[in-house]
Structure 1
Amino acid sequence: MSLFKSKTLWIVLGAVVVANLAVFTLADKAGVTDAATMAASADANLVVVALLIGVIWLLTRKRAGVDLGARAPQRRIAGREVAGVLGYAAAGQLVGAGLGRLLGEHPISFHLAGTLYGHQHVTPYEAYVWAGYNFVVYALLPWLYFRQRYTAEQLSLRSSNRRNDLLVILVVMVLESLNELGGLSDAVLHLSPSQLVKGVPTAFGLYFLGSALPTMVLVYSILLPRYRALTRSVPATVVLGGLTYALLHFFEAWTVLSSPAGAAVSIGLLLLQYTGPGMVKSVLTLRTGNAWVHVWAYHAVAPHTLVDTPHVVQIFNIK
């Protein structure tokens, strides 16, 4: 099969092996809480990632192909824009980390402290600052800049097949919801009706502004078409989208970057946990040409609303 002849596939598999070796050999020295458990969970989820990518391909196999690279400018300009956006995102991560510490809170990264993994105490004030910072820095400002220069279609913000997009959203959302509830946490099922009524919309709104929209605009609306134009390779574009998504979580509250061992384990875990989901988001965008699809199918509802509503209930002391 041509799939197994892909150099990109073997590079990814090799990186997974190296990341696992770093985590399991340095975990005791690194001081990253539950490193082995997190790595094992991430490894298991890579199987789900592969299955979801297969499902997405099946659901979209009959629709007209989308040339995402054609939506980017000529390669020289695309390369300059990619460099600028990545530099801007790196600066945003550094400023967010410093701002969070300056305010006496956790570093501001793409996930609120305690999201998915960890049990950090978070105040309502910190949650608002996190969502507001990420929305303005990674969604609003980049969108305002690029919207002046490119159309909604060039930014993959318009559907070309609403019926198929809806089918993809529903199927992937249901499959990922079952995966999250069965494999990560079913705590949301144990909340009271009052907590669900108040907590679900609060969690949805918080993570929609602080995580889903920033990811959609920065990575899948702006960068992905340019990756496709520069690499002229679908597998490379999928992987670059996944890596970019992973590295935007660099200052997660659980990462330990104060020692070489801690940094190696933390980076290994970031790559294992987030590159796969980032690749699914890449495939969703490449196959549909609509950056919004991943928001509804594989981000705002599952995992964040399902898994993180109990965390939000705790933050806001919802009874």
Structure 2
Amino acid sequence: MSLFRSKTLWITVGAVVVANVAVFGLASRAGIADAAKMAASADANLVVVALLIGVIWWLTRKRAAVDLAARAPERRRAGREVAGVLAYAAAGQVVGALLGWLPGEHPISFHLAGTLYGHQHVTPYEAYVWAGYNFVVYALLPWLYFRQRYTAEQLSLRSSNRRNDLLVIVVVMVLESLNEIGGLSDAILHLSASQLLKGVPAAFGLYLLGSVLPTMVLVYSILLPRYRALTRSVPATVVLGGLTYALLHFFEAWTVLTSPAGAAVSIGLLLLQYTGPGMVKSVLTLRTGNAWVHVWAYHAVAPHTIVDTPHVVGIFNIR
């Protein structure tokens, strides 16, 4: 198969091996609680990632191919836009981290402190600031800038096959929901009916603003078509989408960047945890041409609403 002759595939496999060596070799010196356990969980999830990518391909095998590269400008302009967006996102990460650190709170990254991993105490005020900052910086402002210059179709915000999009959304959402409840966290099952009634919409809305829409707009609406045009390679585009998604979590609350060992393990864990899910989002967008598909299939509901509703219930003391 041509896939197994792809240099991008084998470079990615090599990077996974190196990340594992770094994490397991330096975990005892990194100062990150449960670093080895986090890596083992991320490695196991890579199997799920591969299976989901196969399912997505099978579900979309009969629909017309989407030329995502055609939605990007000519290559020189695409390159300038990619460089500008990545520099803007990096600045947003640094400013967000400082806005959290200076008042003695958690850095603002693409996940609220305590999301998926960790048990950090978060106040309602901090949660609101996190969601508002991320929505404005990574979703609203980039969308306003690019929407003036490109159509909704060029930004992959319009469906070309609603029936197939719905099929993909339902199947992937169900599979990932079962994976989350069966593997990562079943804490949502232990909430009371009252907590579920109030906590589920609260978690959905909070993470939609703070993580899901910023991811969709910045990475899969704006950057992915330009990656496709610049690389002229589907595997490279998939991996670049995954890497971008991972690095947007650089200042997660659990990362330790104050020592070489801590930084090496933190970066290794970021790559192991988030590149795979970011690649699934890339494949969803490449195969459907609709950046909204990943929002509903593989982000807003599973994992965030399922895994993080208990966290939100704790933040807002929902009874």
With structure 1 as the length reference, what TM-score do the two structures score?
Answer: 1.00
Shift of 1:105: 1.1
Is 2:152 the counterpart of 1:152? yes
In the other structure, the counterpart of 1:166 is 166
Secondary structure of residue in 1 paired with 2:122: coil
Distance 1:101 1:29 in 2: 23
In the other structure, the counterpart of 1:255 is 255
- CA RMSD in angstroms, aligned pairs only: 0.4
> What is the CA deviation profile of residues 62-116 of structure 1, one whole-angstrom value per residue up to 9, with x for unaligned ones?
0000000000000000000000000000000000000011232100000000000
Map of 1:1-319 to 2, 5 A cutoff? 1-319=1-319
Distance 2:308 2:34 in 1: 19
Shift of 1:283: 0.1
> What is the CA deviation profile of residues 26-81 of structure 1, one whole-angstrom value per residue up to 9, with x for unaligned ones?
00011111000000000000000000000000000000000000000000000000
The alignment of Structure 1 onto Structure 2 pairs a total of residues equal to: 319
> What is the CA deviation profile of residues 179-230 of structure 1, one whole-angstrom value per residue up to 9, with x for unaligned ones?
0000100000110000000000000000000000000000000000000000
Secondary structure of residue in 2 paired with 1:237: helix
For 1:261, give the aligned amino acid. Answer: A
Distance 2:284 2:43 in 1: 21
Distance 1:172 1:216 in 2: 17
Secondary structure of residue in 2 paired with 1:251: coil
Shift of 1:7: 0.6
Distance 2:5 2:162 in 1: 34
> Structure 2: 5+ residue runs without aligned partners?
none
- Stretches of 4+ moved more than 3 A in 1? none
What percent identity do the matched residue pairs reach? Answer: 90
For 2:13, give the aligned amino acid. Answer: L
With structure 2 as the length reference, what TM-score do the two structures score?
Answer: 1.00
Secondary structure of residue in 1 paired with 2:17: helix
Secondary structure of residue in 2 paired with 1:149: coil
Distance 1:312 1:63 in 2: 39
For 2:60, give the aligned amino acid. Answer: T
Distance 1:108 1:256 in 2: 15
Shift of 1:248: 0.1
Secondary structure of residue in 2 paired with 1:227: helix
> Structure 1: 5+ residue runs without aligned partners?
none
Secondary structure of residue in 2 paired with 1:32: coil
Secondary structure of residue in 2 paired with 1:154: coil
Secondary structure of residue in 1 paired with 2:254: coil
For 1:28, give the aligned amino acid. Answer: S
For 2:140, give the aligned amino acid. Answer: L
Distance 1:158 1:300 in 2: 18
Secondary structure of residue in 1 paired with 2:308: helix
Distance 2:260 2:130 in 1: 27
